[in-house]
Amino acid sequence: MLFIDWNPSIEAFRIGSFAMRWYALCWLIGLLAAYFIVRRLYIQQKIKETLFEPLFIYCFLGILIGARLGHCLFYEPDYFLSSGQHIVEMLIPIRFLPDGGWRFTGYAGLASHGGTIGLIITLLLYVRKTKLNLWTVLDNIAIATPITACFIRLGNLMNSEIIGKVTDVPWAFVFQQVDMQPRHPGQLYEAIAYALLFVIGLYFYRKSPQKVGTGFFFGLCLTYIFTARFFIEYTKEVQEAFEASLPLDMGQLLSIPFVVIGILCMKGGKWMTWLAQKV
């Protein structure tokens, strides 16, 4: 009787023939929140506004392209690399039909690990163009990233996707669009964890703003997010069948190197200075 029946509409609202889905709306809110937070950080740190203007485009493209390629290559390589048409589907949000036609699908698969890699790559390109300090940019982005991650996972919850394992905990969700079994709301666990990280990051920033540029916030973000992801994965169903035969699922395996990199960044050291000079 305590289980939560979960069957929301995938549409947040509709105006005529235009429909805004919850998932897209959550992505939009998360990106806009990060945009205004980083803009405020740039102002506080007296970084030229002209250097901020292209940042949003770099981040948006890096996250979207990286997340899409990450899902296709990490979770469904057998499908997306099996033909030229499937490679096109990996890059363009369509699905080819057996009769020779096609239909628009949107990017149905996005992986957070790929999005993180894509974001880092585009930030490296941004730093090359603007000549800003690499670690200052990474730290500022890291302060805002958790709120975006939080809203993305809320979007997954509204889509009834990335579901948890069957459980009898009283807060279990019954995802009616999936089945009628009570399951862990893994998406909600992650959203709460990321919201908490956002608060922690703001606390450390207000207490020690001089840490921006040392790699501390970037390291904290990577270490916290992917440690949380590693353990929350134990409550979630595997996304692809091949993961069932692995000692750890794909999300956990991909999280480990990010945690290691995060710890190294928090510690700082000569290697960070060397890497910044190389970049």
Helix (H) or strand (E) holding 103: strand 102-104
CB 164 within 8 A of CB 235: yes
- Give the model confidence (pLDDT) of 21-50 as tens digits: 888 899 889 989 999 999 999 999 999 989
- Give the model confidence (pLDDT) of 44-76 as tens digits: 999 998 999 899 888 888 888 888 888 788 778
CB 51 within 8 A of CB 42: yes
Tokens 């890699």: give the residue. 117
pLDDT (0 to 100) of residue 108: 64
pLDDT (0 to 100) of residue 106: 66
Both tokens assigned to 76: 């469904």
Handedness of CA 255, 184, 71, 150 (dihedral sign): negative
> Could you give the CA distance from residue 189 to residue 5 in angstroms, rounded to a whole number?
17
Between β-strands 18-21 and 11-15, what pairing exists: parallel, antiparallel or unpaired? antiparallel
pLDDT (0 to 100) of residue 78: 83
Would you say residue 241 has pLDDT above 80? no
Both tokens assigned to 168: 């009898």
Confidence tier at 270 by pLDDT (50, 70, 90): low
The response to whether 206 counts as a known ligand-binding position is no
pLDDT (0 to 100) of residue 82: 84
pLDDT (0 to 100) of residue 240: 67
Output the pTM of the full model: 0.81
SS3 18: strand
Both tokens assigned to 47: 């970084």
Both tokens assigned to 1: 């009787």
